Amino acid sequence: MSLLKIFYKKPSAIKESTEAVYLLAGLGNPGREYRETRHNIGFMMIDSFAARHNIKLNKVQNKAIVGVGRVNGVRVILAKPQTYMNQSGQAIAGLVRYYKVLLENLIVGHDDVDLPFQTIRIRPAGGSAGQKGMTSIIDQLGTQKFARLRMGIGRPPGQMDAAAYVLQSFTKAEKEMLGTFLDRAVDALQCYLTEGLETAMNRFNAADKD
């Protein structure tokens, strides 16, 4: 046997991490003027989740404000796209690729005018139902097969245009209930992370049907 064979030791293969990474995204529009509008309830949800779990949203990455942390041992990426609502897919698709997130570990929270205020619907997949941020994400990912947490903001009153309605602030009465609504949405996200999508759907989806 040659000295080369005696003293050469083949380096062990570098093992890639197999740890699951979850991407929790909330949709909204950047800018102070949109901060408290109905369309930004997805951002509010992510802010509430970050505050509860002491995750700092302190990075700007892939056109999103991002926070990285752990919840009950699960690695999570929190994201608020900064591309404006109708281009949200640019940020989400970029983060999915960067962090190598499996689509089964992606959930997107957004406002929904077709659901009564304070109603939550968790779904494993589906179309955008006209929500432009979701349309953009579906287009960028090339699939509808990812979870979403729909947060009801109610229908616009009278003949008001829905596009104008979602860019208004919540009413005084709604603001008094908003904290409880957001707490329940955060509970739902946490359940999704630690107990799975089906359990979260069974526990948090409202009893009434769409």
Is 110 an annotated catalytic residue? no
| Alpha-carbon dihedral 89, 46, 57, 199, rounded to 10 degrees | -90
* Element holding 203 (H helix, E strand): helix 197-204
What is the rounded distance in angstroms from the CA atom of residue 149 to the CA atom of residue 131? 13
Non-local (6+) Cβ contacts of 69 within 8 A are: 50, 53, 54, 55, 56, 75, 76, 78
**Catalytic residue (one of 23, 34, 39, 200):** 39
30, two tokens: 């950047």
At residue 203, what are phi and psi to the nearest 5 degrees? -85, -35
How do beta strands 21-26 and 106-112 pair? parallel
Which residues belong to the active site? 39
